[in-house]
Amino acid sequence: MATLGRACLILALAVAVYGVLASVRAARTRDRAWAASGRRAMYAVAGLTVAAFAVLEAAFLRSDFSFAVVATHSSTTTPTFYKAAAAWSSQEGSLLLWLLLLSLASSGVLFATRRRMRDVTPWAGAVLLGFAGFFAGLLVFSASPFGLLSPVPAEGTGLMPLLRHPSMMIHPPMLYAGYTLFTVPFAFAIGALIERRVDAEWITATRRFALAAWLFLGIGILLGARWSYSELGWGGYWAWDPVENASLLPWLTGTAFLHSVMIQERRGMLKVWNVSLILGTGILAILGTFLVRSGILDSIHAFGASTLGTPFVLFIAVLLIGSVALVVSRREALRSEHRLDSMLSREAIFVFNNIVLVAMAFVILFLTFFPLIAEAVTGEKRALGPPLFDRFTVPLTLALVLLSGIGPVIAWRRATPASVKRSFRVPVGAALVVLVGLLAAGGVASRPLALGMFVAGAFVAGTVGQELWRGARARRAMSGERLPLALVQVVRRNRRRYGGYAIHLGMAVLFVGVAASTAFQETSDVRIRPGQTTTVDGYEIRYVRATAAVDVRAERLERLRLGADLQVTKDGRQVAALHTERGYYPSFDPSLGAVGRFFQGEATSEVGLDAGAFRDVWTVVSPDQQIIDQVVDGVDRRLGPDASPEQAFRAAVGFTEVYRQGGPEATFRVLISPMVTWVWVGALMVFGGGIVCLWPAPRTVPSRATAGYAARVARELGRA
């Protein structure tokens, strides 16, 4: 089976190289036969990659430990659900997943555009096949997932404990789908520049791919944030980790691109912005992939040091130099067809939006790589903490939220004072109501950035509500439908516009949740015994009892769990009953002792969480290590180093009974975080709006509008 997988990858590499040559020849000669041959080469690469990935998945599902990657990332006791996900937990498997998604997306776009843009598409195909060839080359020469072990071990080491979470099935594929889909508009932008076809056709051909990339990458980012909040045991959902930042960078520039292209489609402006943004986004997607695999920056998400850094750096350098050279050489063709008529216009707001998003991306990129820059200059690597990232990004985020409320309602080309007054009456009113209410309630004025985010969120909500009301009233005036049905129909018939409104509102809700949960969070670290209570922000947390258990799977000691049951009350009323625990996974070194080896391996935290609409109670336990050591020393000393599996099992069970009955002290971290749920609700609104934008609009049959209809619509809009 390994031979079959290797053969598929070698063939995929050879076919990709052929496809590049065939596509370039087709582009130069305008020969449709060569274009079709290059396109079929991509289909073949996709088929071969599917076959190779199927071989790898089969090896994981069958626990075939002759595969080195299976032996080091799975075991016979790993649940089938996680065996399937373990295929991309390794460096080699994740690269194969990257190639799989890239080849499938590329095949889809080349098939969809086979009769369009016959001059640009072959160049785009050559670029996409070049990407495929690069990753196939890495898999063949540097990171083969089909390496074999001899002798074959009887058991594997298992999946890394931190990865044993349901999000492992979705989070990495979503990120990789976002990365790979961004290569599609990147490739077509390259083709359009080569051919000097810098109109909006390449944008139209790839818009859905760009939007899907943005959507998948965003879902992946938020799934990672949720995973961090519920599993990593530090109490937050975003730590400005280098790998987290690497996924955020192309999402930010992709967001700017999706806004900016509307100006080019409507008025032929911002052409340099658009090609630069999408080329930068494609390069940042590769940079994100590089950061995970190179190990050059410290990250809990990275695979560690590897030999892949050099080829990635060279590849990124080629992409960057080639992109800059193309944009500079085509600067005359990229001139805007119109100039900006007024700073008070939708075009100007979109430009400001681009500036803020690109500035945010630049700040995050610089701060992420600052440790390397400092090391190169001073010889010392200096890590930067989250407060510095927050200092620069929070004001930019506030500006971004405000712009997202202004853009949808301000007029194109030039807004008049009368139109501005009419358009912003409701949003400004909503913002003022929230501002006055919060100041009257007290406790917010001392945190001006959080206050500003609440007010900006109300402004965006007012904008979206006003636009929905106007659209529904206009539809009702024209069709005579009831208002709820008119609202559904107006959204259905203009999904791109109203899906965008939902995204803007969702982002405002999300950032309001972020502002509240960070500015007003209360944290306490306390050491208590069973029966004792601690108070945090008016909530009483009672340590009810210690818990301990041993997990056994297929007659193998899988995990030892030490935890606590907690009771949460407020004003004498029970709010929640929580359980939090620390899971210990054994080291494979028997000399550490039958029980002691559990505390020399990896450990994970299970969070106790009571999530509410306006506050979360979040707890995590750290069992007392001194007590653990005392009990472990006594148990392991009695057994000696040659304990049988049965003796080891009895010792582990005995340890849990002693620990549970001893009423041990434990250290608890307790967080009372307001409005965290709004972060997840806002994310769902964003992704729901993205799906609405992606969903094909219904086909409409042109009809003859009457003068009466037009007059009624005009009257309704005038009253709005």
Average pLDDT over residues 29-44: 96
Supply the DSSP symbol for 696. P
pLDDT at 706: 44
**652 and 683, same domain (yes or no):** no
Going 435 to 439 to 443 to 449, the CA torsion angle's sign is positive
pLDDT tops 60 at residue 488: yes
Average pLDDT over residues 588-615: 85
**51 and 112, same domain (yes or no):** yes
pLDDT at 226: 94
Q: Is residue 177 part of a domain?
A: no
- Segment 514-569, tens digit of pLDDT: 999 999 999 999 999 999 999 999 999 999 999 999 988 877 788 899 999 999 99
**552 and 431, same domain (yes or no):** no
pLDDT tops 70 at residue 491: yes
Distance CA 202, CA 189 (A): 7
Q: How many domains, in total, are found in the chain?
A: 4
- Segment 656-670, tens digit of pLDDT: 888 888 888 999 999
Burial code (b: 16+ CB inside 10 Å, e: under 16) for 112-133 equals ebeeebebbbbbbbbbbbbbbb
At 707, the pLDDT band (50, 70, 90 cuts) reads very low
**659 and 537, same domain (yes or no):** yes
Q: What percent of the chain has pLDDT over 90?
A: 63
Q: How far is CA 534 from CA 151, 545, 619, in A?
A: 55, 14, 12
Please give the model's pTM, rounded to 2 decimal places.
Answer: 0.92
Average pLDDT over residues 199-226: 94
pLDDT at 703: 47
Q: Is residue 484 part of a domain?
A: yes
- Segment 249-279, tens digit of pLDDT: 999 999 999 999 999 988 888 899 999 999 9
Q: Is residue 537 part of a domain?
A: yes
**431 and 341, same domain (yes or no):** no
Range of the domain at 6: 1-164
**552 and 637, same domain (yes or no):** yes
Backbone angles phi, psi at 414, to 5 degrees: -155, 125
pLDDT at 94: 93
SS (H, E, C) 185-227: HHHHHHHHHHHCCCCCHHHHHHHHHHHHHHHHHHHHHHHHHHH
pLDDT at 240: 92
**506 and 573, same domain (yes or no):** no
Q: Is pLDDT larger for residue 579 or for residue 629?
A: 579
pLDDT tops 70 at residue 185: yes
At 600, the pLDDT band (50, 70, 90 cuts) reads confident
- Segment 344-371, tens digit of pLDDT: 888 899 999 999 999 999 999 999 988 8
**441 and 346, same domain (yes or no):** no
Distance CA 245, CA 691 (A): 24
Distance CA 385, CA 367 (A): 10
Q: Is residue 391 part of a domain?
A: no
**564 and 638, same domain (yes or no):** yes
pLDDT tops 50 at residue 592: yes
**513 and 638, same domain (yes or no):** no
**515 and 537, same domain (yes or no):** no
Mean pLDDT of the chain: 89
**513 and 577, same domain (yes or no):** no
Q: Is residue 188 part of a domain?
A: no
pLDDT at 314: 95
> Residues 516, 615: contact at Cβ < 8 Å?
no
Tell me which residue of 571, 573, 714, 557 sits closest to 651, measured CA to CA: 557
Supply the DSSP symbol for 343. S
Q: Is residue 407 part of a domain?
A: no
pLDDT at 720: 47
Q: Is residue 402 part of a domain?
A: no
pLDDT at 286: 95
> Residues 179, 285: contact at Cβ < 8 Å?
yes
Q: Is residue 524 part of a domain?
A: no
Q: Which tokens go with 30?
A: 């305008």
